[in-house]
Amino acid sequence: MQIRRYAGREEGALLRRIKADLGPDAVILHTAWVKRGGMLGLFRHKEIEIVAGGGFRIVKDFAPAPAASPVARVYGVPAPSGPPEALRREIAEIKRLVSETQEIVRARGGFEGPRELVEEGAALAASRVSEALARKLVKSLREKLPESELRDRTRVHAAVRDLVREMIRCADGITLKPGKCVRVALVGPTGVGKTTTIAKLISVYAHRGLEVAVVTNDTYRIAAADQIKRVAQLVGVPIRVCPRPQDIQQALLEFADRDLVLIDTAGRSQKNGRRIEELQEVLAAAKPDETHLVVSMTTDAQTIVDVAERFAPCKFDRLVVTKLDEALKVGVVLDVLSRVQAELSFITTGQEIPRDIEVADPGRLASLILGEESL
Ligand SMILES: Nc1nc2c(ncn2[C@@H]2O[C@H](COP(=O)(O)OP(=O)(O)OP(=O)(O)O)[C@@H](O)[C@H]2O)c(=O)[nH]1
Ligand SMILES: [Mg+2]
């Protein structure tokens, strides 16, 4: 099996090349518009990028399972059955690619209108924007754009881009208040990257010359506090580990002259009501100026919306979206923002501290969703 990426200005020529390279059974797995070339933003041009797969000859090479050895026969050990591990993995990968391709083809069938619009709708669905939302966007464009522009691929793409951009509500990271101590708490389910994000934020804001401090309430996981302590010590930022709400109040009094106090909390399963109540007690003691709900892009939109509903009593006002690097596609962000009333503050794009964090930006996220940019 081969998977290759092709790029060029002319779709027909690319398809001919794909057919010549990968054979008549080649499957288009993904298409996107990308910007190439240019200096200082000038003379850039758009190219179509196609990812295609071919050579699915593995099924023909499928070897029969080996017969049981004489020893196995004597002791009644069952003969090894099914394909070996490597083959199984390849079959699983083929199944995944085929189902993804089917999804794109099916998505195309779900849109109405001129070809240019249908292609854009299918591209949104392929980027993991839900079909329902992609259809809604396509419908609103059909109503908004004059008939003549609906057949202009560049115009339609620009209109989709504007629409996607408008939907991405962003806060400018953390809102600092000169001369005032701003308290920011991070809350969310277990393992989504709260502590790692705090570690990144400590470094970024301390590097900007702010007086930063950290309070952590996460005493559930052994070594959780150690992890963040190490980063804080490295950057020269004071940290207090506070198991009880009254300890948090004490620590915050101590840090009242700081510019920014970051408050790390222990991960809570959204299904455990009691743990969410405990978290509310922690927040009642901390009285944060901002509460950011941290969610992972490796989860589907419905689960993130469910998490947001369960964490609603914590009155979060911003969203941090983590692990974009692990997500296959990031269109899920659009569905989440269409259903959760909060602004995006940060996105995180890897495990490295402090490198892998960005202030959420509508233009950047729209480009990521539309496949025009990569991380
Ligand atoms: N790939 C990737 N991994 C990340 C990112 N952010 C965090 N991680 C990893 O996710 C794992 C969990 O991160 P933590 O920061 O401990 O998560 P947490 O939300 O504090 O976890 P709990 O405190 O146990 O609820 C670690 O292995 C991190 O390195 C990211 O943006 N991308
Ligand atoms: Mg943690």
C-beta separation of 25 from 54 below 8 A: yes
Give the position, in ligand 1's atom list, of the atom nearest the Cα of 191: 21
Spacing, Cα 150 to ligand 1 middle (Å):
44
CA of 357 to the centre of ligand 1 (A): 12
Phi, psi of 31 (to 5 degrees): -130, 145
Whether residue 191 is found in the same domain as residue 324: yes
CB-based contacts of 262: which residues, under 8 Å, 6+ apart? 184, 186, 198, 201, 202, 212, 213, 214, 215
94 lies in the same domain as 191: no
Domain boundary pick from 142, 167, 192? 167
Residues 303, 277 contacting (CB under 8 angstroms)? no
Distance 195 CA to ligand 1 centre (A): 7
Both tokens of residue 40? Answer: 């200082």
Q: What is the pLDDT of residue 267?
A: 86
Give this prediction's pTM. Answer: 0.74
What is the domain extent for residue 36? 2-167
Q: Would you say residue 205 lies in a domain?
A: yes
Q: Are residues 243 and 160 in the same domain?
A: no
| 184 CA from centroid of ligand 2 (Å) | 15
User: Atom of ligand 1 at shortest distance to CA of 199?
Assistant: 15
Q: Is 343 left (phi over 0), alpha (psi -120 to 50) or beta?
A: beta
- Asked whether residue 23 falls in the same domain as residue 105, the answer is yes
The phi, psi pair for 73, rounded to 5°, reads -65, -45
Residue 266 belongs to some domain of the structure: yes
Indicate whether 374 belongs to any domain: no
The Cα 371–Cα 125 span in angstroms is 12
C-alpha 111/C-alpha 121 separation (Å) is 7
Last residue of a domain, one of 167, 190, 217: 167
User: Do 293 and 201 share a structural domain?
Assistant: yes
207 and 163 in one domain?
no
What residues have a C-beta under 5 A from ligand 2, the ion? 194-195, 218
In terms of C-beta density within 10 A (0-12 exposed, 13-18 middle, 19 or more buried), how is residue 184 classed?
A: buried
Indicate the number of domains in the chain: 2
Angstrom distance (rounded) from CA 20 to CA 18 = 5
Strands 182-187 and 45-54: unpaired
Closest atom of ligand 1 to 192 CA is: 19
Kindly state the tokens that stand for 58: 């593995």
113 three-class SS: coil
Residues 218 and 133 in one domain: no
Quick one: 106 and 233 in the same domain? no
Residue 175 lies in a domain: no
- Strands 45-54 and 2-8: what pairing? antiparallel
**DSSP 8-state symbol, 326:** G
Helix (DSSP H) and strand (DSSP E) numbers for the chain: 13, 11
Give the binding-site residues of ligand 1, using a 6 Å CB cut-off.
190-196, 218, 221, 224, 266-267, 322-323, 325-326, 348-351, 356
> pLDDT tens digits, the chain, 375 residues: what are they?
677 788 888 888 888 888 888 887 777 777 777 776 655 555 667 788 887 777 654 333 333 444 444 333 333 444 445 567 778 888 887 877 777 666 666 555 567 778 888 889 988 988 899 989 999 999 999 899 998 888 898 999 999 999 999 999 999 999 999 999 999 999 999 999 999 999 999 999 999 999 999 999 887 665 667 778 888 888 899 999 998 999 999 999 999 999 999 999 988 887 788 889 999 999 999 999 999 999 999 999 999 999 999 999 999 999 999 999 999 889 999 999 999 999 999 999 999 998 999 999 999 999 999 988 888
Name, in order, each residue with C-beta under 8 angstroms of 115's C-beta and a sequence gap of 6 or more.
Answer: 151
pLDDT of residue 119: 87
CATH number of the domain within which 265 lies: 3.40.50.300
The answer on 150 and 9 residing in a single domain is: yes
Give the domain-ending residue among 135, 167, 199.
Answer: 167
326 located within any domain: yes
Looking at the domain assignment, is residue 189 inside a domain? Answer: yes
pLDDT for 275 equals 86
| Closest to 208 (Cα-Cα) out of 244, 168, 173 | 173
Of ligand 1's listed atoms, the one at least distance from the Cα of 190 is 25
Question: Do the beta carbons of residue 351 and residue 357 sit within 8 Å?
Answer: no
- 190 by Cβ neighbours in 10 Å (0-12 / 13-18 / 19+) ranks as middle
3-state helix, strand, coil in the chain (%, to 5): 45, 20, 35
- 147 and 208 within one domain: no
Measured between alpha carbons, how far is 125 from 331 in angstroms, rounded to an integer? Answer: 8
Residue 207 Cα to ligand 2 midpoint, Å, equals 22
Q: Determine phi and psi for 259, rounding to 5 degrees.
A: -80, -35
pLDDT of residue 31: 74
Task: Return the residue whose CA atom lies nearest to atom 14 of ligand 1.
Answer: 193
Both tokens of 151, joined, read: 């057949």
- 176 assigned to some structural domain: no
Do 275 and 249 have their domain in common? Answer: yes
Is 151 inside a domain boundary?
yes
Distance 241 CA to ligand 2 centre (A): 12
* pLDDT (0 to 100) of residue 111: 75
From 187, 194, 196, 218, give the residue whose CB has the most ligand 1 atoms within 8 Å, as the site to mutate: 196
Q: Alpha helices of 110-238 — where are they, by DSSP H?
A: 115-126, 131-144, 153-167, 194-207, 224-235
Q: Which atom of ligand 1 is nearest to the CA of 189?
A: 25
CA 351 – ligand 1 centroid, Å = 7
**H or E segment at 74?**
helix 70-75
Whether 118 and 65 map to the same domain: the answer is yes
